[in-house]
Amino acid sequence: MAGLMKPADAGGLQPLLRKLNSLGFDDEDELRCLLDSVSLQRGIPLGEDIVGAGDAPRRLTVLLAGVACLYQTMESGERQIYAFYYPGDFCDLHRYVWSERAAETAVRALTGCSIGTIEYRDLDEAIERHRKVARAVWLATMLEASILREGLTNVTQRPALQRVSHLLCEQLHRRRAIGIDSGVVPLTQIELADAAGLSVIHVNRVFQDLQKLGVLSASNPTIEVVNWERLAEIANFDSRYLTMPATLSKWEVRTE
Amino acid sequence: MAGLMKPADAGGLQPLLRKLNSLGFDDEDELRCLLDSVSLQRGIPLGEDIVGAGDAPRRLTVLLAGVACLYQTMESGERQIYAFYYPGDFCDLHRYVWSERAAETAVRALTGCSIGTIEYRDLDEAIERHRKVARAVWLATMLEASILREGLTNVTQRPALQRVSHLLCEQLHRRRAIGIDSGVVPLTQIELADAAGLSVIHVNRVFQDLQKLGVLSASNPTIEVVNWERLAEIANFDSRYLTMPATLSKWEVRTE
DNA sequence: CGTGCTGTTGAGGACGATCAATGACGGTGG
DNA sequence: CCACCGTCATTGATCGTCCTCAACAGCACG
């Protein structure tokens, strides 16, 4: 992977590179074509909508730094968080198709963020020309679906303690996968509640339990997992739904 | 659409044709190549696992007749239903990637079913050769993800009555989209419960309420919606998440 | 005529929501 | 420098939706 990093990529595209790599996209020349069409946007402040409710979707957004979430505000005023995004993740693949429902769903920066955008026409062209780009976006979509399925069982099957634990596990795992190895989960209790389908108050109580269990540190308001294993145990966490199993080698074998 | 139907397709592939069509795949010649590699399998009995827990995934499965569901059995013994499938739907696109997690998730026939299978090597080849095949499977995956997102809000945001109603609405809508216009939903209360994340008992009580409201007929054990509109009202149903907005024309414009 | 599956009914109880306040922190402006 | 505000976190009390357990009824099946 390191082999793919070039000085020219130092603009902050490494996360995207890593992501494409994990999706089995390892051809350097093809990569270049896609990377060249990315335009950067830095310094997006916390709380801002990266992909707004209103704007017409003409470009794809890739998160390059920070944390974001895909959410929807219900008529009741409740907020439902569908997904958290980390550097390298595509934030609005769904918009490529559902320009309409745009009105209600948006992507919000949960910390300061940097993003890259790719005009649809460039993406289209890349997909047309390079089969692996098409595969990469497909796989990215599959991964999101896999996370959604797990989210569904999380919400329907697990009680609050396990549910929150599972959510935390997932964040830790995904962060580690992109090289962030700390136990800190840069989210608020509110955000976790909106993702878990629990009230903030209850999440707070769960947090206290997790602290008593020695899983979370008392370092408020920062959420920090100090006992990784115990957490995974509580959550009954099985990371397979997150990991693309050596897809690339498989593709190669089958298709070339 | 009718224009695409040929005598040779009378083998039962119309549902697949319709599906591909709705995914913007309208090139007859390219279609042929894919359709030719489908092998049929009829007369699968109710209750059987179409895509089993154990078998190594070497082929893609398309439902051609009947109703099926994607489910997983938890350690607790509970069953979580992730998706319902109707004729034309791809049942195991996820397996194309996650051969591993196969162990726990399976696709079950909820009525008598017919399926078609496409060997991975044929699918790979079709994807390689025809860009629109790649797009079709990508879009199919996006649609599944969209349904999953809606399922997530359904489970976390809506109380039992609305939740069940919403689920029923979705089934009606999807069935109508493939030409089945009756108010009958060919599922059991148990299946709906497992999809809604409710106990069967509670679903049953909700059903009684829906009957009192004149939405469901008393025709047990068949579930039949007699007041479509009232149901959509209760569920606050917005079908946009199900409909691919004129994708095909869009693709054409942008890419050709 | 049992056996199994789906659907139905009742009673009790639990998990988590809601309402109402309060505390801690950081930024802003007087 | 302090008063003020907004956001996030915390606590207690009450309440409701939905679950669990336990039975039973209808129906199709062999």
Interface of A with B in 24-63 (CB under 8 A): none
Give per-residue pLDDT as tens, B124-159.
999 988 888 999 999 999 999 999 999 999 999 999
Read off the pLDDT band of A249 (50, 70, 90). very low
Q: How far is B193 from chain A (nearest CA, A)?
A: 11
Lowest mean pLDDT among A236-240, A248-252, B132-136, B166-170: A248-252
Mean pLDDT, residues A210-216: 97
- What is the pLDDT averaged over residues B108-114? 96
Non-local (6+) Cβ contacts of A107 within 8 A are A49, A50, A51, A61, A68, A69, A70, A71, A85, A91, A92
Contacts of A121 in chain B (CB under 8 A): 254
CB of A99 within 8 Å of any CB in chain B?
yes
Mean pLDDT of A11-30: 85
Q: Is the pLDDT of residue A222 over 50?
A: yes
Region class of B157: left (phi > 0), else alpha (psi between -120 and 50), else beta: alpha
- Residue B88: is its pLDDT beyond 50? yes
For chain A, give the percent of residues with pLDDT over 90.
75
Contact B144 A145 (CB under 8 A): yes
pLDDT classification of A10: cutoffs 50, 70, 90: low
Task: Give the closest-approach CA distance of B179 to chain A in angstroms.
Answer: 23
Does A80 contact chain B (CB < 8 Å)?
yes
> How large is the average pLDDT for residues A8-18?
79
Residue nearest to nucleotide D27 (CA to C1'): B221
CA of A220 vs C1' of C26, distance in Å?
Answer: 14
Task: Say yes or no for a CB contact (<8 Å) between A98 and B245.
Answer: yes
CA-CA distance, A91 to A167, in Å (whole number)? 19
Which one of A75, A141, A244 has the shortest CB-CB distance to B141? A141
Distance A180 CA to C28 C1' (A): 34
Chain B residue numbers touching A142 (CB-CB < 8 A): 93-94, 96-97, 141
Q: A1 pLDDT band (50/70/90 cuts)?
A: very low
Instruction: Supply φ then ψ for residue B47, to 5 degrees.
Output: 90, -10
Give the whole-angstrom CA distance, residue A186 versus residue A161. Answer: 19
Round and report the angstrom distance from CA (A216) to C1' (D7).
22
| pLDDT, tens only, B156-177 | 999 999 999 999 999 999 999 9
Q: Say whether the peptide bond before residue B221 is cis (omega within 30 degrees of 0).
A: yes
Which residues does chain B have within 8 Å of residue A100's beta carbon, measured at their own beta carbons? 240, 245
User: Which of chain A's residues have a Cβ under 8 Å away from the Cβ of B103?
Assistant: none
Nearest CA in chain A to B127: A131
